[in-house]
Structure 1
Amino acid sequence: MKRFSFFILLLVIVYPLATFAQEASHAFRFALITDMHLKQNDPKNTETLREAVKDINTEKDLSFVLVAGDIADKGDRPTLLTAKKLFDQLDVPYYVVPGNHDTRYCRTDTTTFDSVFGYHHFAFTFQHVRFIGFNTGQGNGVNTGWVSDGEMRWIKSQLEKTDKTQPLFFVTHFPLNPSDVGNRDVFLRMVKPYNVEAILGGHYHRNVFFSEDGIPDVLTRTLQSNAVLPAGYSRIEIDHAIRFYEKKVNDNLPFLWLTLPFHAVFVQPVN
């Protein structure tokens, strides 16, 4: 009888842990595109985005797409609408945040952006991993980053829905360093108690790694092409590690440029 009681007690303790492990057991991939800089009078970047959407749709194992801002070079509504029509052709869900080019020509920071996409921040959970994207632009012609009081309150409300042990990624445009976002210390103090795996963004137009008080801050390359750089985006894989690949459009050989530890147990590897 004592052995049976011990078995029941062990089951009660272990079952919730097993449930958590099951929720976090399926590895996954997603794409991140940033700094498209579409222009009304120059179709080149629009065609690049069109080709990128087609290319992403050929990768059938992607779960979603993150868009980290600077979609329209002048932040104008017609160009943002053009971008949205292309994003809507993606076969998987996509989530966008604005960059400084999307907001700095607005009287307020996100009025035009919101009128096109319906939001300027997002939060969702996938495979028990939490993703929170938010605006770091100021509008009114200002080209430096700042997290507004309203955005801070919204982030706090999303953190209140997040378990402190849950793997958490933030998505921004600006990196969260002092030279780019003036009040980044306020943000970092707020998120310090949580299991922040990384901050994902763009803005620098190249692959760069920073550490924000111990939090990995990963900037990814621009989608745009130039004389020496073909068009490309990022493919990010999560299982027992976080792996960042640069994926050239219409090229089947992605380049692994960064690997970070992942603080959760995934038992099913990426194939």
Structure 2
Amino acid sequence: MGDTQRFYDETEQFVASVNRQRNIDFVFVAGDISDFGLAREFRWVHERLQQLQVPYLTVVGNHDLVGNGRAIYQTAYGPLNYTFRYGGTKFICLDTNGREYSFGARVPDVPWLQQQLQDTTGSRHTVVISHVPPTDEDFDPALVPSYTAALRGCPRLVFHLSGHVHRFSAGKPFHDGVTYLTTYSLAKHRYHIISLWGQRQFRLETVTYGPDA
């Protein structure tokens, strides 16, 4: 799921819903944990998400970089670009908030991404997760060609997942075989359960939650 900013009641309802699910390995928050990059916003969201019965991980969103948000985020969650392997899948998580850096062809770090995509040791699948998708105007337009080319060149890539747009979408917008997904904000009272198997197969289930669900 993505974009918890200001949606504190919805976050509590989300946690209650996830805790009723079976066989969830972890939760991923696709950025915009905060609205104004304030420490208390990060704290309020964490106080709710720590009630999850499984771990949660994050990528940084554009709102998380406002003011002192970058330093607060890094203190709370660590590097803005990082990877981990779990269950035979390599997850590549990176900062794609180009507008927050006045564009300038620096963010996302495409050479770092290329290096991570090439390192497939011990992995059957690869998943890339960011906040701003490369189809959005807040993604640095100068880096769209090299970014999408890097993804296109990874034979083990299952999909690219983002938040930011507050709605669900699924497609291959660059007509290159790469699947791009975006997920709901918590304001929409929906989230996705994604299962991976085989070579590049995945199943996406949409869950509706809340007091009236």
TM-score, normalised to structure 1, is 0.66
Deviation at 1:86, TM superposition (A): 2.2
Deviation at 1:145, TM superposition (A): 10
Letter of the 1:125 counterpart: R
Sequence identity of aligned pairs in percent?
23
Tell me the alpha carbon deviations over residues 53-109 of structure 1, each in whole angstroms, 9 at most, x when there is no partner.
122112131011111011112222210122122222222122100111111x236x8
Q: In structure 2, what is the equivalent of residue 190 of structure 1?
A: 150
Q: In structure 2, what is the equivalent of residue 71 of structure 1?
A: 33
Q: In structure 2, what is the equivalent of residue 209 of structure 1?
A: 170
Change (3 A) 1:174 1:139: closer
Tell me the alpha carbon deviations over residues 109-144 of structure 1, each in whole angstroms, 9 at most, x when there is no partner.
8323112222323322222121111111147585x7
Correspondence 1:50-89 to 2 at 5 A: 50-89=12-51
Change (3 A) 1:51 1:146: farther
Give the Cα separation in 1 of the matches to 2:202 and 2:87: 14
Asked if structure 2 preserves the Cα contact closer than 8 Å seen for 1:36 and 1:72, the reply is: yes
Change (3 A) 1:71 1:222: same
Asked if structure 1 preserves the Cα contact closer than 8 Å seen for 2:99 and 2:138, the reply is: no
| Larger Cα-atom Rg | 1
Match of residue 67, structure 2, among 106, 113, 125: 106
- Look up the SS of the partner of 1:62 in the other structure: coil
- Give unmatched runs, 5+ long, in structure 2: none
- Tell me how many residue pairs correspond in the alignment: 205
Give the Cα separation in 2 of the matches to 1:89 and 1:147: 36
Change (3 A) 1:219 1:148: same
Letter of the 1:133 counterpart: C
Asked if structure 2 preserves the Cα contact closer than 8 Å seen for 1:106 and 1:140, the reply is: no
Q: In structure 1, what is the equivalent of residue 2 of structure 2?
A: 34
Asked if structure 1 preserves the Cα contact closer than 8 Å seen for 2:190 and 2:208, the reply is: yes
For the pair 1:175 / 2:133, whether they are aligned, the reply is yes
Change (3 A) 1:162 1:141: closer
Asked if structure 1 preserves the Cα contact closer than 8 Å seen for 2:162 and 2:181, the reply is: yes
Q: In structure 2, what is the equivalent of residue 46 of structure 1?
A: 8
- Which deviates the most, 65-74 or 185-194? 185-194
Asked if structure 2 preserves the Cα contact closer than 8 Å seen for 1:106 and 1:112, the reply is: no
- Look up the SS of the partner of 1:35 in the other structure: coil
- Look up the SS of the partner of 2:133 in the other structure: coil
- Look up the SS of the partner of 1:215 in the other structure: coil
Deviation at 1:146, TM superposition (A): 6.6
Give the Cα separation in 2 of the matches to 1:146 and 1:72: 25
Match of residue 148, structure 1, among 107, 115, 127: 107
Give the Cα separation in 1 of the matches to 2:10 and 2:138: 27
For the pair 1:239 / 2:197, whether they are aligned, the reply is yes
In angstroms, what is the RMSD of aligned CA positions?
2.8
Give the Cα separation in 2 of the matches to 1:140 and 1:188: 20
Change (3 A) 1:138 1:78: farther
Give the Cα separation in 2 of the matches to 1:166 and 1:75: 36
Tell me the alpha carbon deviations over residues 222-263 of structure 1, each in whole angstroms, 9 at most, x when there is no partner.
1114xxxxx121111223531222211258x9xxxxxxxxxx
Give the Cα separation in 2 of the matches to 1:110 and 1:164: 32
